[in-house]
Amino acid sequence: MTRESKELSVGADRFLALEWANQAFELYVSTRDMLLARDFLQVYLETQIDGKESRRKTYNQLNRLWLSDKDATAPLRSGILSFANIPFDIPLSVLHLGLAINVFPIYAETVQVVGTLARIMDSVPVNAIIDRVIERFSNPTSIPRAVTRVLQTLNNWGFIETQESKVKTLHMELVNEDLVSWYILAMLFSNPQSETTLQELDNNPFKLGINFLHPRKAIGNSNDLTLARNFQGLEVIRKK
């Protein structure tokens, strides 16, 4: 991994319950006025979180995740609106994860470390994850707490299981073609090269325990992805 070190963003050390993230998502897809959606989110969080400062920071992170409409991730969000059967037929946690690894450097680094280490060991020590992530940031003192909150969130979202200070990825099968192609697109957004081979897709650490059902078919039916050949003759997935 060669990501450039970045400062943690405000609010990137918050636990994000799946219920809260789902609420932000539902506001995004149902309320086209983002100012109004943000107001609704603030009112909702007042019923969920005690403490003004904690609530403010959680709101900031959820807002950046789902209710920002002028950042580089906006096309990724808007692509969701063309899905069929939203929000009922797909695991919304996958949408949250795809955005989180693009919006927040701490999520990108933590997920990448977990996904990488989980391929060589059944259970990954939390301390090993923290040590790897610390290497990628210039403010190491804030990293242990931030990583702990990210892991707590990933556990709540159903991607990992944490026991006795160790993390294990959980299997998740993605069947919906729209969701498969969208998550592949999310991984490409996080990749500076903006392309990946089919073999690299299988081993991409951002998948954690996610398995794509019929990815080639999903890519073929996608409006955003295409299969091509690179100069080595390998099949690569690219953004259109």
Give per-residue pLDDT as tens, 109-153.
Answer: 999 999 999 999 999 999 999 999 999 887 788 899 999 999 999
How confident is the model at residue 142, as a pLDDT? 87
- Domain coordinates of the chain in residue numbers? 1-169, 172-239
Long-range contacts of 162-168 (CB under 8 A, 24+ apart): 162/126, 163/123, 165/125, 165/126, 165/127, 166/123, 166/124, 166/125, 166/126, 167/114, 167/118, 167/123, 167/124, 167/125, 167/126, 167/129, 168/118, 168/122, 168/123, 168/124
Q: What is the pTM of this model?
A: 0.93
Give the CATH fold of the 172-239 domain.
Nucleotidyltransferase; domain 5 (3.30.420)
How confident is the model at residue 6, as a pLDDT? 45
How confident is the model at residue 8, as a pLDDT? 46
How confident is the model at residue 87, as a pLDDT? 59
Q: In the structure, how many helices (H) and strands (E) does the chain have?
A: 11, 8
Low-confidence ranges of the chain (pLDDT < 70): 1-11, 85-88
How confident is the model at residue 181, as a pLDDT? 95
How confident is the model at residue 86, as a pLDDT? 66
